[in-house]
Amino acid sequence: MSVPDSALPIIRTATGFFQAQALFAGIELGLFARLSREPADAAQIQREFGLHPALTHDYLDALVAMDLLARDGSTYRAAPLAAAHLDPAAPEYIGGFLAFNQRRLYPAWGTLSAFLRSGENLAQKFSDKGDFTAELYADPRRARAFTEAMDGYAVLLARPLAEKYRWDEVKSFADLGGCRGMLTMRLAAAHPHLRGVTFDLPPLEPFFDELAGELGGGTDLRDRVAYQAGSFFTDPLPDTQVYIFGHVLHDWSDERRRELVGRAFDHLPPGGALLVYDSMIDDERREGVFNLLMSLNMAMISGSSEYTVAEGTGWLTEAGFTVEAPVALNEITTLLVANKPL
């Protein structure tokens, strides 16, 4: 039966998960790490990874077609994209984020039509006490997997954020909901005059200490970053010139978002700034496929959503901030810079 060409966009969308699973399998096998270190031919790869001989060529060549591997004669190596982001030794490794997509989000998205009817999110479904984060962090293995997933965003956004804000005009910042501190450490490393605080819940402090040891051990970075444990709803926020809420407002209801933005305004000194970034939705709500689907993803995980640039600007303005024109940190992430008047 022939498939008319006009259906190809649908076929590609429907089979998009082939590519996702090919990618996840490469991470799970450790293939990209291996081929970033040293090239190998198919027979060698088949032996080393215990792959089935009949499947090895198609799998490796599919990864070549996906621009994740490069083939030279019969030798395969990691393509630049994979070497930059799929090798655990690379500074912008996002394997933890991919593992989270594979293990948590992929199965959840398999139940989308049921979710669209029931609206019952994963937090409601699987949480005994209604506190999803507390339960997640009570299990150190799951807590680690979550922090590694969040690192995926932090390592990609740290560079544009380090470049697109006037860091030379300030001395200190705090990343509120900063997870295990990856963004704090990257920003402080990019701007050696800066001091940064990661503010997050108490169970993440040991993960911060571990990362600070890895990234800052033996350097002055270790002395310029610190962890402050607390809840951004109830505890005093750090004393500093700039706050960051990165992928935080998208976790909460509009009411909670207003509360967080209001607390940030109250705690900042006059002239201070709040930087908010999220996968914000375009105001016409028709362009960003990723951002609109990410909004559904947030609804499925925690019952929250993404929001439009206008909505975000509205909450910040209501709190008393003067908001600058939105800045694209990358194709899917918008930054709003909100200044507290002097």
Ligand X SMILES: C[S@@+](CC[C@H](N)C(=O)[O-])C[C@H]1O[C@@H](n2cnc3c(N)ncnc32)[C@H](O)[C@@H]1O
The neighbouring-strand residues paired with 78 are 69
The amino acid occupying position 233 is F
Q: Quote the least distance from Cβ 181 to ligand X, whole Å.
A: 10
Structure tokens at 71: 């083939």
Which residue reads 């991919």 in tokens?
A: 98
Closest alpha carbon to 27 in 91, 109, 100: 100
- Which one, 83 or 335, has the nearer CB to ligand X? 335
CA dihedral angle for residue 333, residue 339, residue 305, residue 314, rounded to 10 degrees = -120
Q: Quote the least distance from Cβ 151 to ligand X, whole Å.
A: 8
Active site residue 250: yes
CA angle 115, 26, 103 (to 5 degrees): 25
- Which one, 201 or 226, has the nearer CB to ligand X? 201
- Which one, 36 or 198, has the nearer CB to ligand X? 198
327 and 335 Cβ atoms separated by less than 8 Å: yes
208 and 227 Cβ atoms separated by less than 8 Å: yes
Q: Quote the least distance from Cβ 177 to ligand X, whole Å.
A: 3
Instruction: Mark 171-186 as b/e (b = at least 16 C-beta within 10 Å).
Output: ebbbbbbbbbbbbbbb
Q: Quote the least distance from Cβ 303 to ligand X, whole Å.
A: 14
Q: Quote the least distance from Cβ 188 to ligand X, whole Å.
A: 15
Q: Quote the least distance from Cβ 220 to ligand X, whole Å.
A: 24
- Which one, 177 or 288, has the nearer CB to ligand X? 177
**For the chain, how many residues are written?**
342
Q: Quote the least distance from Cβ 269 to ligand X, whole Å.
A: 21
- Which one, 131 or 223, has the nearer CB to ligand X? 131
Q: What φ, ψ does residue 63 adopt, rounded to 5°?
A: -65, -30
Q: Name the residues that contact ligand X, by CB under 6 A.
A: 133, 150, 153-154, 177-179, 200-201, 204, 231-233, 246-248, 251
279 secondary structure, DSSP code: -
What would you report as the CA-atom Rg of the chain, rounded to the nearest whole angstrom?
Answer: 22
Q: How many whole angstroms separate alpha carbon 282 and alpha carbon 310?
A: 8
The neighbouring-strand residues paired with 180 are none
- Which one, 150 or 319, has the nearer CB to ligand X? 150
- Which one, 221 or 260, has the nearer CB to ligand X? 260
Q: How many whole angstroms separate alpha carbon 128 and alpha carbon 66?
A: 42
Q: Which of 85, 191, 247, 250 is catalytic?
A: 250
How is the chain split among helix, strand and coil, in percent rounded to 5? 55, 15, 30
Catalytic residues: 250
